[in-house]
Amino acid sequence: MDIEITLTAAPTEEHSDAPQNDHHDRRGRRTPSPVRGEPSTLPPCIIDIPQPKLHRSPSPVRAIPRSKFPFPLHPVHDAQEAFRNRHGDVLATQIRAIFSASTPPALNESQFQDVTVACQAPRYFNRVFFHRCGGKPGGVVTLDGFERFWNTLRNCADVEEMCFWILGGGKSMLTEEDFGLLIQDVVHNHPGLEFLKRMDVFQLRYVETIIARIFYSKTRNTNPRMSLREFRKDRIYHTILNLQQTEDINASRDVFSYKHFYVIYCKFWELDSDHDLFIMEDALRQYENGCLSHLAVSRIFSGAGRGIGKFDAMSYKEFIRFILAVEDKDTPQGIEYWFRCLDTDGDGVWSLWELKMFYEEQRARMREFRMADPWDWDDFSCAILDLVNPVTPGQIRLSDLKRCKSAGLVFDMLFDIRKYDLYLRRIDPSFREWDDMYVEDRETKEKVLLEYVMTCASSGPDSNGA
């Protein structure tokens, strides 16, 4: 997932996900689509399709044995069968040969890579695999140690499930700690991260950032544990596998991007003035020149965004979740984060009185910054309801926001004055020409980002993170 950080006063593309056929006037009001009458769904089928005739089988009906589950846990197919066969004699012979080539027949972490590769696990699973087989730092793994752990993997359906079990050491759910050795292996051995070798503190922050991003991106991110289903859906195995195929870790725009990490950490470092790795509420109000309303920041510190208890100081890990949510409000994770923040009574519904509370502060700030004439509440509430089009009139639910495709704009209209101002500028024809110079060319945007990183590098934290 890309992190959209606004680097300069230049507008960005943060609302590029807005619906293509929805057009809004200067106040965000929806205006008719230029494609008039375009249906939102497929037309009803009017072709008379002949129904297939049912044929009774002459053979007697056989009773189908009842299963313990309504459906098989794993679909049986050729690839699965092939994988299980590989767990058998062929692989066992290959692994024994690797161990017997060493005298005594035990492998250190580096030598164990041959075993990891033979088992089809990605290269960067080596350290955690070595550890699961009984290997200590600087120690060795014996064939017995390997076989003891390997036998617990025999029922895995495929290599993805095998890697899940290696990470958790046999647990059915993964925690953030389970990813520690895996990410350390990447940090210590990826050629693209050679420059981090003597920067212990940055290594720690980088590992922390990646793990926080992995768990933020998962389906149910308020649950601190990850299921096999989530592991598969988020394609974590594939992300790790891709790492060994690219030397430039910034070439990928996934959770391992060092560029993203640096921007996130520099933003935190700017606000954490005493560098104790905690940010107070007053400091977070300064984020991006105070773009967020005080009420929104207060709700963040109430823990509402993540469904946790109130906290007085925001940790670096908490800040990562915040910045991902605020810079990419249109993702499912961002929508859920801000929906909970604005649902002040926690009843799962945005009532109009809750929205009014947020808009009153936003409106006062718009006047303070001399932005375009702010609407009065009646016009504003109509515009919001028009944008979201909730199933129940006057009540906005999470499902309404996810469906409407304009959630990011709705959030900006309610509490993010910086992005709302950028939106208003972008839809104003007098700003178009200037806007096009900065945002239409993706390469230009990348350049701006790199310049920002370089600026941060020259004035930001040193290699000790202080």
Contacting positions for Ca ion (CB under 5 A) = 343, 345, 347, 349
Euclidean distance between CA atoms 215 and 173, whole angstroms:
12
DSSP-assigned beta bridge partners for residue 24: 30
The amino acid occupying position 445 is: K
Euclidean distance between CA atoms 266 and 459, whole angstroms:
10
Nearest alpha carbon to residue 7 among 447, 415, 388: 447
Answer yes or no: are the C-beta atoms of 419 and 427 closer than 8 Å.
Answer: no
Would you give the DSSP letter of residue 57? -
Cα angle 464-465-466, degrees, rounded to a multiple of 5: 90
Cβ proximity to Ca ion: between 345 and 433 the closer is 345
Q: Report residue 386 as tokens.
A: 């028009």
User: Minimum CB separation from Ca ion for residue 346, in Å?
Assistant: 7
User: Minimum CB separation from Ca ion for residue 293, in Å?
Assistant: 17
User: Minimum CB separation from Ca ion for residue 416, in Å?
Assistant: 20
Cβ proximity to Ca ion: between 6 and 351 the closer is 351
Please report which helix (H) or strand (E) contains residue 279, including its range.
Answer: strand 278-280
User: Minimum CB separation from Ca ion for residue 344, in Å?
Assistant: 6
Cβ proximity to Ca ion: between 139 and 348 the closer is 348
Cβ proximity to Ca ion: between 114 and 336 the closer is 336
Cβ proximity to Ca ion: between 114 and 343 the closer is 343
Euclidean distance between CA atoms 133 and 243, whole angstroms:
23
Which residue of the chain is nearest Ca ion when measured via CB? 343
Euclidean distance between CA atoms 131 and 118, whole angstroms:
17
The Cβ-side half-sphere exposure at 60, using a 13 Å CA radius, reads 2
Cβ proximity to Ca ion: between 230 and 343 the closer is 343
Residue 272, SS3? coil
User: Minimum CB separation from Ca ion for residue 362, in Å?
Assistant: 18
The amino acid occupying position 183 is: I
Alpha-carbon separation of residue 163 from 139, 170, 241 (angstroms): 22, 10, 11
Euclidean distance between CA atoms 143 and 149, whole angstroms:
10
User: Minimum CB separation from Ca ion for residue 342, in Å?
Assistant: 8
Cβ proximity to Ca ion: between 347 and 436 the closer is 347
Cβ proximity to Ca ion: between 272 and 343 the closer is 343
